[in-house]
Structure 1
Amino acid sequence: MRSPVISVALLVLTRGSQVSYVQKKRKNTKALESMKVKRVVLASRPGNDGEPATENFRLEETDLTEELMDGQVMTKTLYISVDPYLRCRMNEDSGADYIQSWKISKVLDSGGIGVVEQSRHGHIKPGDIVTSFNWPWQTKCVLEGNTLTKLDPSLVDGNLSHFLGAVGLTGLTAFLGVKEKGHVIPGANQTMVVSGAAGACGSLAGQIGRFLGCSRVVGICGTDEKCSLLTSDFGFDAALNYKEKGLADKLRECCPEGVDVYFDNVGGEISDVVISQMTKNSHIVLCGQISQYNKDVPYPPPLHPQTEANLKERNITRERFMVLNYADQHEMAIQQLSQWLKAGKLKVKETVVHGIENTAGAFVSMMKGGNIGKQIVQISGY
């Protein structure tokens, strides 16, 4: 999969882009006692067209014997985020200049949260909760303090994992995606369809579409259980299981006046069906294409000729969405998401597995739709 659509929105919560694992010795160092830590490394690549498997990952135990130098902190990892875009990092070429491929036999990284245990950084102290977009899949880490951002637990009522979801990367993607690319007009009687609707981003996007003014919201997902949750817990008007026959007919019944806004998380045949029922001058929020991530195709993936014709004939907008392009709105968006969350208006679901040894399994399951809401790995307790 080349040049994936991912949203690097967590950059609003993270100062710096890379974790430094090897540092030259400097003066004024404080030796850390040697300790055993567990980490996950990339054992092999699935290939550009292959499905990831747990065998592509390896759990190791190693000694943490680095020295804590000026500017560094030692952290205990609390939570790790596993997300669809990480599939592209498993290839030798990630397909995008803003994310790096994982290296064979090197510790993996993604969004993460930890608590500081020791610090030689002027503005970070023991007990602080910190986050990074490049958090190592390791039980304890020595990190450069200037790559971390301190978090305010009150923004999420103490539910720290929400900083990796509803009030982090995922929430910013959903909110700003709908706001900037959905062109929702309150009172315009618009119908919104969300694919991957029971996932981390889709479950939020549907709710936010309603908050911003859509009169009808319909979700598409992969199980009857998820469909039930969308209507009972997330406030969708209807939900369709794409694995059942007759998706096009059922979608037409749910959206008799057509689709005005489509929040696309999956691409492929599902999106072909939705786009065929979109109205003139309607809008696609091109957020993700998870059905295409195991295929070595250009990005955005080529569309079916009829789908391409529908876009042109009906003047449907379909532009890739990058949250990084809306950095001036990040602070506002985080505050709004926090307000909705604390007021109980924004409903959040998480699929949580426990233990670093289950991180690879959580990622593989998420890629196959095994999660409801945000997939989180809890590495240790706070």
Structure 2
Amino acid sequence: MIIQRVVLNSRPGKNGVPVAENFRLEQSTIPDTVQEGQVRVRTLYLSVDPYMRCRMNEDTGSDYLLPWQLSEVADGGGIGVVEESKHNNFAKGDIVTSFNWPWQTVAILDGSLLQKVVPQLVNGRLSYFLGAAGLTGLTALLGIREKGHVTVGANQTMVVSGAAGACGSLAGQIGHLDGCSKVVGIAGTDEKCSILVSEMGFDAAINYKKGNVAQQLRELCPGGVDVYFDNVGGEISDTVISQMNQNSHIILCGQISQYNKDVPYPPPLPPDTEKYRKKETSQERFLVLNYMDKQEASVLQLCQWIQEGKLKVRETVVEGLENIGAAFQSMMNGGNIGKQIVLVSK
């Protein structure tokens, strides 16, 4: 069977900014027959995420991320429909998802790598299983619950960096739902800040490209910061950490400002920032894959919030497998709001 797939065409280098040309669309073939335990799936949606920047390097800097290989198909979160199955758990027509879905139009996969999903849980919005009701939503929810130490009625203030991104936009909302009294987002445009406040329920948002971030934080969080959901690292995080209270908590989710730099992960804090952090402030790296025993219950909670309208979801959907490289470039440049999704087929 003839298919289309996207392979890694070149590496941007540890300090380089990825571009669409780092990926290449090509024609390939897969077997016409499915073996026992396998499933043939047609790809519906693919997820594009910041962590993938690390997979473009020969050394990902992480023991849980494997590098993409040159001229080999890339992979990540995906969702599709079963066309043929020789696995007992799946039948033709089932909607399935996987964290390791190849970037190709049709694939034959080991059934043990797939999970069946129920479209009704997300009101038929299948792409949500890659975002708000998928790994992104789990990262936000479990990050806050496992590392944020949010307590209802404790009058806690949360700050979220990268707040208009896929994870940040959910984390701020979940912070409120779990009991934070105030949530402040940090984003890169006035439009993003406006959407965070008017649509997603943030109490305030700071455009870090305008004005003095430290001063704005002091004005918006006069009682200091109790919980910091860190998606970006770098100077913005140094500024937030300097205003954190004693016994506060940093949820180290991502460091997107550092992904195009040859630095350790997580990168070391400058001495002045480390001095502030030592005010009995916890800074713990969060990896959602360590909490997958809580996946099922957490996904159901996310889906319930979506159905009730308590969790607002933003997606940027790009059509066509051939445009996935451009979608990745746009995401890394901060050009979208919410989750970046590629629609491969309907």
CA distances 1:38-57 after superposition (whole Å, capped 9, x unpaired)? 11000111111111111111
Unaligned runs of 5+ in 1: 1-33
2:271 maps to what in 1? 305
- For residue 321 of structure 2, the aligned residue among 341, 344, 356 is 356
How many residues are matched? 346
CA distance in 2, matches of 1:236, 1:113: 30
Equivalent residue for 1:370, pick from 335, 341, 345? 335
One-letter code aligned to 1:243:
K
> What runs of 5+ residues in structure 2 fail to find an aligned partner?
none
Q: What's the counterpart of residue 30 of structure 1?
A: none
The residue type paired with residue 315 of structure 2 is: E
- Counterpart Cα distance in 1 of 2:51 and 2:211: 29
Deviation at 1:370, TM superposition (A): 1.1
In structure 2, give the amino acid aligned to 1:55: E
- 1:316 maps to 2:302: no
Q: How far has the Cα of 1:66 moved from its partner?
A: 4.8
Q: Please give the alpha-carbon distance, in whole angstroms, between the structure 1 residues aligned to 2:32 and 2:259.
A: 37
Q: Give secondary structure in 2 for the equivalent of 1:180.
A: helix
* Aligned match of 1:63: 29
Cα deviation, residue 148, structure 1: 1.0
1:347 to 300, 312, 331: 312
- CA distance in 1 between counterparts of 2:18 and 2:63 reads 22
One-letter amino acid of the structure 2 residue matched with residue 363 of structure 1: F
C-alpha distance in 1, partners of 2:177/2:116?
Answer: 29
How far does residue 120 in structure 1 lie from its aligned partner after superposition? 1.9
CA distance in 1, matches of 2:226, 2:113: 41
Which residue is 2:90 aligned to?
A: 124
- TM-superposition CA deviations, 1:165-210 (whole Å, max 9, x none): 1111011110111111111111111111000001100001001100
Could you state the TM-score of these two structures normalised by the residue count of structure 1? 0.89
Q: Distance in 2 between matches of 1:122 and 1:330?
A: 22
For residue 108 of structure 1, report the CA deviation from its aligned partner: 0.6
Alignment map for 1:1-382 (pairs within 5 Å): 34=1, 36-312=2-278, 314-381=279-346
Structure 1 counterpart SS, 2:211: coil
Percent same amino acid at aligned positions? 66
User: SS state of the match for residue 67, structure 1?
Assistant: coil
Q: Which amino acid aligns with 1:146?
A: S
CA distance in 2, matches of 1:84, 1:167: 18
- SS of the residue corresponding to residue 229 of structure 1 reads helix
Write the distance in 2 (CA, Å) between the matches of 1:261 and 1:144: 41
Render the CA deviation track for 1:247-289: whole Å, top value 9, x for unaligned: 1111111111111110000000000111111111111111000
Task: Measure the CA separation in 1 of the matches of 2:29 and 2:152.
Answer: 57
TM normalised by structure 2 equals 0.98
Moved more, 234-243 or 143-152: 143-152
Spell out, residue by residue over 1:50-93, the C-alpha distance to the aligned partner (whole angstroms, 9 max, x if none).
Answer: 11111111111223345321222211100000101100000001
Q: Once the two structures are superposed, what CA deviation does each residue of 1:120-153 show, in whole Å capped at 9, x if it has no partner?
A: 2222111011111110100111112221111111
Q: For the residues of structure 2 that align with 1:70 and 1:180, how far apart are their CA atoms?
A: 39
Is 1:66–1:142's contact at 8 Å kept on the other side of the alignment?
A: no
Distance 1:124 1:96 in 2: 33
Which deviates the most, 157-166 or 115-124?
A: 115-124
Post-superposition Cα deviations, 1:282-340, rounded to whole Å, max 9, x if no partner, equal 1111100000011111121011110001111x111101012222233222211111111
Q: Deviations over 1:355-376 (max 9, x none)?
A: 0011111111111111111110
Contact 1:261–1:283 (8 Å) recurs in 2? yes
